[in-house]
Amino acid sequence: MNENEIVDLTDVELDEFFGEKSVRWYQIAARNAVANCLTEGLKRVLVKLPTGAGKTLTIACSMSYEPIRQALGVTNDRKLRVLFVAHKHRLLTQAEQTFSASSNVELILQSMFSDIPQEVLDKGWDVCVFDECHHEAASTFQYHLENLGNCPIIGLTATDQRADGCLIKFEEIIEPISREQAVEEGWLAPTRIHTFVDVPSKDKTDVLTDILTNYAHQMGKTMIFVKTKKEVKSITLMLGRLGYVATGILDQKEKELDIILNKFSEGHIQFIVNCSKINEGVDVVGCTDVILGRQFGSYSQLNQVIGRAARPDSDCNVWELINPLSGTNLDTTVVVGTPEYHRLIAKQQGTWIEREFDYVTHKTNKQLGIASGLRVHH
């Protein structure tokens, strides 16, 4: 069930709130579609929304929706019991905060990596929600599925594709809005891409040091994604020497990570450097820039990372490294569509040379265009 099959609510005057938050038309469309699926007796329903489009709010307002309560057989004299499963502590905290606006839902938080307590199993629940459910093929996810019996399951994700090719098994996929449409309507920030020529080296410390020395002053609250802990340490120290407030994410516990991300959102930290922990499903307010200092194995991973800066409350700048001689570069425009602005930056004779990418000239093969446009002549 995609955006073309869902009742068009874009031109309807909507004035609906969940707590103090306004509910957007596509969130209402998703909620209504979930209600229809459950009424028809479907047991596994997937809600697919772009990163930053408000999946948690969508499911929270859905669980308070009377037609969904009726479809689940929940009477008015009790709360609807929701088992909310996620693989990260911050996702569970985020859900707890969002669901707090509901007075007729009992939220049961459950880590994917922990056993469901016996008292919860004994009491049961009405519906299970799996956040970031593209992990559905994982063994820990499958273990939990064995305990859920015939309970309806609602999955949340920004991507229904997995890098390993494993299938995500749901009876219905609800996709009320695409990322491109969300950008066009102002629900997500338009993207500006800054592409640097990369060199075929495993350690990106030198090239990132050069880039940050010359361009960090153009960046706002920035998340840097690299491959190794060594790079995290080196780049964090380098940014400190340049006078920026930077924090490296290494072995911090989930609660420590929450504190760091909150300080980042509040503007007390400008740069966060990490190699694994902040890649998906983490709601970070105010992130304006992401630096892709490593390659990603799939477009689903790339989508999750870029989504850190896609929210409409700030700009969305993607700084990427492209090796023009490599055939493994992922095309960022596959994720973001045609960007608002795209500049190519190459170093020639010790000087960074910039030019705007011409989407008219290269529209037939953007990836080849990027490669040929970035080739450095000595």
Max avg pLDDT among 160-164, 255-259, 317-321: 317-321
Q: What is the pLDDT of residue 106?
A: 96
Calpha distance 94→282 (Å, rounded): 9
Q: Which residue has the higher pLDDT, 226 or 347?
A: 226
What is the fold, at CATH topology level, of the domain defined by 189-374?
Rossmann fold (3.40.50)
The CATH number of the structural domain formed by 17-182 is 3.40.50.300
Q: Model's pTM, two decimal places? A: 0.78
Q: Is residue 286 exposed (0-12), middle (13-18) or buried (19+ Cβ within 10 Å)?
A: middle
In 3D space, the residue among 183, 206, 182, 211 whose CA is nearest the CA of residue 195 turns out to be: 211
- pLDDT, tens digit, for every residue of 12-47? 445 588 888 899 999 999 999 999 999 999 999 999
Q: Is 108 exposed, middle or buried (0-12, 13-18, 19+ CB in 10 A)?
A: middle
Q: What is the pLDDT of residue 11?
A: 44
**Mapping DSSP to helix (H, G, I), strand (E, B) and coil, where does residue 37 land?**
helix
pLDDT score of 293 = 92
Measured from the Cβ of residue 319, the count of other Cβ atoms closer than 10 Å reads: 23
Which tokens go with 230? 């060594």
- Whether 35 and 65 have beta carbons less than 8 Å apart is answered as yes
At residue 115, the pLDDT reads 85
- Which of 35-44, 168-177, 221-230, 280-289 has the weakest average pLDDT? 280-289
Backbone angles phi, psi at 42, to 5 degrees: -70, 145
Instruction: Give yes or no for a contact between 181 and 8, defined as CB atoms under 8 angstroms apart.
Output: no
Which of 51-65, 74-88, 302-316 has the weakest average pLDDT? 302-316
Local confidence band at 375 (pLDDT 50, 70, 90 cut-offs): very low
Q: Where are the domains of the chain?
A: 17-182, 189-374
CA–CA distance, 353 with 362 (Å, rounded to integer): 19
Q: Per-residue pLDDT tens for 290-321?
A: 999 988 878 878 888 888 777 777 789 999 99
Q: Strands of the chain (E only): list them.
A: 17-18, 21-22, 44-48, 80-86, 105-111, 127-130, 153-157, 172-174, 191-197, 222-225, 246-249, 271-274, 289-292, 316-322, 341-348, 351-356
C-alpha to C-alpha distance for 111 and 133, rounded to whole angstroms: 13
The residue behind tokens 């979930």 is: 34
189-374: same fold as 17-182? Answer: yes
CB 140 within 8 A of CB 45: no
pLDDT value for 336: 84
Q: Can you state the percent helix, strand and coil of the chain, rounding each to 5?
A: 35, 20, 45
- In terms of pLDDT, which residue wins out, 235 or 365? 235
